[in-house]
Amino acid sequence: MRISMVSEHASPLAVLGGVDAGGQNVHVAALSASLAKRGHSVTVYTRRDNGALPTRVRMRPGVEVVHIDAGPPEPVSKDELLPFMGQLADGISADWDCNPPDIVHGHFWMSGVAALDAARRNYGSGYPVPVLQTFHALGTVKRRHQGVQDTSPAQRAWLEPSVGRNVDRIIATCSDEVFELTAMGVPRSNISIAPCGVDLELFGATGEVEPRGRRHRIMSVGRLVPRKGVDLVVRALRLLKDQGIDDVELLVVGGASGPDGLGGDPEARRLMELAGELGVADQVVLRGQIPQDKIPTVLRSADAVVCVPWYEPFGIVPLEAMACGVPVVAASVGGLIDTVVDRKTGLQVPPKDPEAVACALAELLRDPQLAQELGRAGRKRVRTRYSWDRVAADTEKAYNLARNSGALSGALRQLEGEAL
Ligand code: UDP
C-alpha cells in the first residue's frame, strides 16, 4: 500500500522531550518504519517548522518525510496551528497529484481535519481515498481535566467529533479511548484498537547502565508539563522521608530544550520550588531532555519508574520501562490501565494521590524481590504484546477494513464536506 501519514505538529524527525514533542512523534516514526518493513511505502506529511528544512527527507528505506509550508516556518504551539490546516491540505493534495496514496492516516485531530480536506478534494479525481484517524489525545478528556487551563482552540469541541464521524475508521490506542469515542458519537463498529508499541531493539533489560550513587533511584520520563504529575512524585518523596525512607533520589528526564535549557522551563522551576518547600530539594535531580537512544541506559539504572499523570491517552514511557525490566508505578488512567497490570508488571495507584504513590514506592524499595518479579513480568508482557511489528500488523488490518468501506464514506464525506 502507498500510505500517507499526516502528523501536523509532530514530525517523526523531531527531538523528543520538549513541550510538544513526545509520544506522537515516536508513534508516527516507529509505525511508519514497521509498515515500511512490511513492504508498504509511507509518506509522512508534517508542517515545516524551520526554514532550513528540505522539502523531502528520506527517513529510512520506504519512509519519506515531506515538509509542507503551513504557517510560519518556525516553531508554533500546536494550539495555534488550526488556521494553517487548509494550507497543509493544499500541500498534501498537490503532492498527491504525482504521489497518490491508497490510504491516509491522520494523527491528532487537526491532522484529521487536513487529511479529510485533502481526501475530499481528491474525491473529484474518481476514487475515494479512505481516511483513518488516530487521535492520540481527545479534547473532551483534556477539557475535563484541565478546565480553563486548556488552551486548545474553541473549534476543537465540534471539529474533533466531526473528524470522528467523517473518517472511514478510527484506530484507538486503548480500551479507555474506545469508551470516550463512543460517548462522542462514533459507532463502535468504526473503531479498531492498535496500541502504541515500543522499540525492542533499543529498550531491553541488558546493556549499558548509567552509574549512580548509593541512593535508590526512582525516575520520571516525559514532557515537563503539569498534567504529567511529576509534582505528585515530589510530594511522595516527602511522605517517604516521613516514613524514614530518605535514601532516594528522583531523577526527572524531559523538559525545555533551547539556549536557556531548564532555566527557562516554568514546570522545572515550579517543581524545584515545591521540592524546596517540602525539604526534599536535595533528592530531586532535573536532568532535562535526553536523546531517546540514551533513555534505556538511564532507565536500567532505576529501581522504579513512576508515571502518574492526571490523564494519559496512551503513555509509551511505561512500556519502555517494562521493556527494560523496571517496575512501574502507574496511575490508573487512560492507556496505563491496559499496559500496566496491577501487582503483575507494576503497581497501579489512583490518580492525583501522592500518599498512594509513596505507599507503592515504599513497597517496591523495601521488597527488591517483588520489584524484580514485576520487572521481569513487565518485560515479558511488552515483548509479547507491544512490539511495533505487532502494532503495524494490527494497523494494517484496520487499513484493510477501511479500504473495504472507503467508497461509501468517501461519498458521505463529499456530502458532509461543508460541515468541516
Ligand atoms: N522522551 C525522550 N527524551 C526525553 C523525554 C522523553 O526521548 O527527554 C521520549 C520517551 O522516551 C517516550 C516519549 O518521549 O518515547 C514520551 O512518550 P509518552 O507517550 O510517554 O508521552 P507523551 O509525550 O506523548 O505525552
Q: What was the pLDDT predicted at 264?
A: 80
Distance 81 CA to ligand 1 centre (A): 22
Q: Given this model, what pLDDT does residue 275 score?
A: 98
Fold of the 216-386 domain: Rossmann fold (3.40.50)
Q: How far apart are CA 20 and CA 14, in angstroms?
A: 10
For ligand 1, say whether the CB of 198 is within 6 Å of any of its atoms.
no
In the prediction, which pLDDT does 14 show? 86
- Domain(s) of CATH 3.40.50.2000: residues in the chain: 2-197+388-418, 216-386
Closest CA to ligand 1's atom 5: 17
Nearest CA to ligand 1 atom 24: 23
CB 227 within 8 A of CB 309: yes
Mutate to test the pocket of ligand 1, among 295, 336, 338, 382 (most ligand atoms within 8 A of CB): 295
Query: Ligand 1 in contact with 290 (CB < 6 A)?
Result: yes
Write down the pLDDT at residue 256.
Answer: 76
Which of 11, 13, 16, 286 gets mutated to test ligand 1 (max ligand atoms within 8 A of its CB)?
16
Determine the distance separating the centroid of ligand 1 and the alpha carbon of 174, expressed in angstroms. Answer: 18
Query: pLDDT value at position 412?
Result: 59
Q: What's the CATH class of domain 2-197+388-418?
A: alpha beta
Pick the atom of ligand 1 nearest to 23's CA. 24
Going by the DSSP 8-state scheme, the letter that residue 11 receives in this structure is -
Angle subtended at Cα 377 by Cα 376 and Cα 382, rounded to the nearest 5 degrees: 100
Q: What is the DSSP annotation of 316-333?
A: SHHHHHHHTT--EEEES-
Question: Which DSSP string do the residues of 80-137 spell out, in sequence order?
Answer: G-GGGHHHHHHHHHHHHHHS--SEEEEESHHHHHHHHHHHHHHHTTSSPPPEEEE-SS
* Residue 123: predicted pLDDT: 72
pTM, entire model: 0.87
Please report the pLDDT score of residue 324 as a whole number: 98
Per-residue model confidence as pLDDT tens for the chain (420 residues): 999 999 999 999 986 655 566 789 989 999 999 999 999 999 999 999 999 999 999 999 999 999 999 999 999 999 999 999 999 999 999 999 998 999 999 999 999 999 999 998 887 666 689 999 999 999 999 999 989 999 999 999 999 999 999 999 999 999 999 999 999 999 999 999 999 999 999 999 999 999 999 999 999 999 899 999 999 999 999 999 999 999 999 999 998 766 667 878 899 999 999 999 999 999 999 999 999 899 999 999 999 999 999 999 999 999 999 999 999 999 999 999 999 999 999 999 999 999 999 999 999 999 999 999 999 999 999 999 999 999 999 999 999 999 987 555 655 565 555 455
Q: For the residues of 246-285, what is the DSSP string, one character each?
A: --EEEEEEB---STTGGGG-HHHHHHHHHHHHHT-GGGEE
Judge whether 195 and 205 are in contact, CB under 8 Å. no
Burial group, residue 214, by CB count within 10 angstroms (0-12, 13-18, 19+): exposed
Ligand 1, atom 1, lies closest to the CA of 17
Residue 290 Cα: closest atom of ligand 1: 8
